[in-house]
Structure 1
């Protein structure tokens, strides 16, 4: 597994997504208010559009989430599972912070 540097941690604003191309994968990177990092596919599974990074970050019962900006389906940032339609999900990616640099790994 190869880790790709995306950006400096301090450049990520809490509760805002950042799109990144990691290899051939369109990734949406998120930092929560608690400074947790999550990386999921940036492609909305219902429309095939690269918009997840522009979604609304929140939580459901303590589960960090992002709502697609298109039809507002809500996805877990931890698992990628759609909380409104169990048949849909976003691929998730490993993300880490090394010193002040955020890195994402894709298969």
Structure 2
């Protein structure tokens, strides 16, 4: 890479031993619906309450699938992934969970 001393962009050195500062809290929320266990990871539950991703397991303990927002900042454009690796679109978190509870891809 050529050295350009006239480049106006600033380069900052990151100290790997530096304190990263306050980290957002991450909690696990779980509930049972139609006998299936729905587990979700929520970041910053006291303020923003953004869902990072979730999973659904059937009553017999088998994995039904996972769901996550494709746009985590806005919590929009949800995706559902089934155990066979197929991806589906869902308009909301509710629709994503509902699809897994009702056997999408089964």
Same fold (TM over 0.5): no
Structure ranking higher on relative contact order (CA contacts 8 Å, 6+ apart)? 1
Compare the two structures and name the one with the higher strand fraction. Answer: 1
Bigger Rg, which one: 2
Tell me the TM-score normalized by structure 1: 0.33
